[in-house]
Amino acid sequence: MRDLNRMTREELADFIRKNGGTERQELIEESNRLRLLSYGRDVYTRGLIEFTNYCKNNCYYCGIRKDNHNAERYRLIQEQILECCQLGWQLGYRTFVLQGGEDPYFTDDRLERIVHSIRTAFPDCAITLSLGERSRESYQRLYDAGAERYLLRHETANDIHYRQLHPKEMLWDNRRRCLWDLREIGYQVGAGFMVGSPFQTPECLADDLLFLKELQPHMVGIGPFIPQKDTPFGSYSAGTLEQTILMVAMLRVMLPAVLLPATTAVGTLDPLGREKVLKAGANVVMPNLSPVDVRKKYLLYDNKICTGDEAAECRFCIQGRVERTGYTLTVDRGDHKDRRVSYAN
């Protein structure tokens, strides 16, 4: 099979346009082989706590955008977040992901207190934040308070496409600035993009891969776009499973040691979507750990799965899926290979 790492933008776009063509099967096998080399059969878990669905932004694709007046808004307070972590710890999670919209209520002071309280109560766990664009100073303060990873999908690395997905106040340059600041501060950084978002071309996806190659993030979240009926993109069609699998496999080959989640969106698109993506090189799952009464309100897209289940149900459902696919769900922080702390003496 041709070496993806030597392909030009046009060659990558062509490969994507043909869905991998005759090399598709070989690509998926190579992706699997590289994952086994870097991480064996281990699949890492992250407990996802969706702690606010207030958002000051208006991304055209996102169900919790400011102008969606049908979204019922909620916030979790510090005690509720800590209760989620407590339950999560008992369920075997050693990473907590605090994810939310860009909610001005959560000032640096408030977030610092939350991060610090989790850091103190769960010293053996990793704290991941996913709170959108903030200032470098803010990222630094949260890092100093004990957060060590940050997820901020770049969404699309093509400036023109970026403007088609976002209102004019949101700038690709600022998104890039954030990602580079996070890296420089020392976070393990997660970027990522949607597959099949409106106006996306194979060239856009090639730009995503080349951008990721340059950024060298520790994690990359890839999931299909799924329309949400109360957004401007409510009547566009969803991305496909076939293309999502292709992008996951291509990325594994381009960044062999990257952590790649089998996302909730891919599980929403196809009942066996996560299993199929795991077989194509993904090695992380992020079950929902939010309180059941708020889950239905964190609707980034329609028909999102796992919104009615208790945290324990999600945990065991995922474990079964991972194990039936031939992998092992581990109780581990699941750091990137280059960031492993050795506890051996």
- Which residue, 34 or 294, is less far from ligand 5AD as judged by CB? 294
- Which residue, 211 or 233, is less far from ligand FES as judged by CB? 233
| Measured distance CA(270)–CA(277) in Å, rounded | 11
> Looking at 176-184, 206-214, 221-229, 251-259, which segment touches ligand 5AD (CB under 6 A)?
221-229
**Out of 27, 48, 59, 253, the residue judged to bind ligand FES by CB under 6 A:** 59
Residue 78 binding result from ligand FES, ligand 5AD, none, given CB thresholds of 5 to 8 Å by partner type: none
Q: Is 153 in the site for ligand 5AD (CB under 6 A)?
A: yes
Q: Is 208 in the site for ligand 5AD (CB under 6 A)?
A: no
Answer whether 219's CB lies under 8 Å from 189's CB.
yes
- Which residue, 38 or 57, is less far from ligand FES as judged by CB? 57
Neighbour count for residue 173 (Cβ, 10 Å): 9
> Looking at 32-40, 199-207, 222-230, 244-252, which segment touches ligand 5AD (CB under 6 A)?
222-230
Q: Is 265 in the site for ligand FES (CB under 6 A)?
A: no
Q: Is 38 in the site for ligand FES (CB under 6 A)?
A: no
Question: Would you state the torsion angle of the CA atoms of residues 243, 283, 342, 126, taken in this order, to the nearest 10 degrees?
Answer: 90
299 to each of 34, 62, 68, 100, how far by Cα in Å? Answer: 34, 8, 11, 11
**Out of 91, 194, 204, 277, the residue judged to bind ligand 5AD by CB under 6 A:** 194
Contacts with ligand 5AD: how many residues (CB under 6 A)?
12
Which of 304, 276, 282 is CA-nearest to residue 222?
A: 282
Number of alpha carbons in the 13 Å side-chain half-sphere of residue 338 = 13
How would you classify the pairing of strands 42-45 and 149-151?
unpaired
Residue 102 binding result from ligand 5AD, ligand FES, none, given CB thresholds of 5 to 8 Å by partner type: ligand FES
Q: Which residue is nearest to ligand FES (CB)?
A: 59
Show the tokens assigned to 56: 């000051």
Q: What are phi and psi of 234, to 5 degrees?
A: -60, -25
Show the tokens assigned to 156: 């699309």
Residue 241 binding result from ligand 5AD, ligand FES, none, given CB thresholds of 5 to 8 Å by partner type: none
3-state secondary structure 116-174: HHHHHHCCCCEEEEECCCCCHHHHHHHHHCCCCEEECCCECCCHHHHHHHCCCCCCHHH
**Out of 140, 156, 158, 228, the residue judged to bind ligand 5AD by CB under 6 A:** 228
Distance in Å, CB of 93 to ligand FES, minimum: 24
Task: Calculate the CA 20 to chain-centre distance.
Answer: 24
Q: Is 301 in the site for ligand 5AD (CB under 6 A)?
A: yes
Answer whether 74's CB lies under 8 Å from 53's CB.
yes
Neighbour count for residue 98 (Cβ, 10 Å): 27
Show the tokens assigned to 7: 């392909």
Residue 225 binding result from ligand FES, ligand 5AD, none, given CB thresholds of 5 to 8 Å by partner type: ligand 5AD
Residue 194 binding result from ligand FES, ligand 5AD, none, given CB thresholds of 5 to 8 Å by partner type: ligand 5AD
Q: Is 62 in the site for ligand FES (CB under 6 A)?
A: yes
Show the tokens assigned to 276: 């199929």
50-109 binders of ligand 5AD (CB under 6 A): 61-62
**Out of 28, 43, 55, 280, the residue judged to bind ligand FES by CB under 6 A:** 55
List contacts with ligand FES (CB under 6 A): 55, 57, 59, 62, 64-65, 101-102, 132
List contacts with ligand 5AD (CB under 6 A): 61-62, 153, 155, 194, 223, 225-226, 228, 265, 300-301
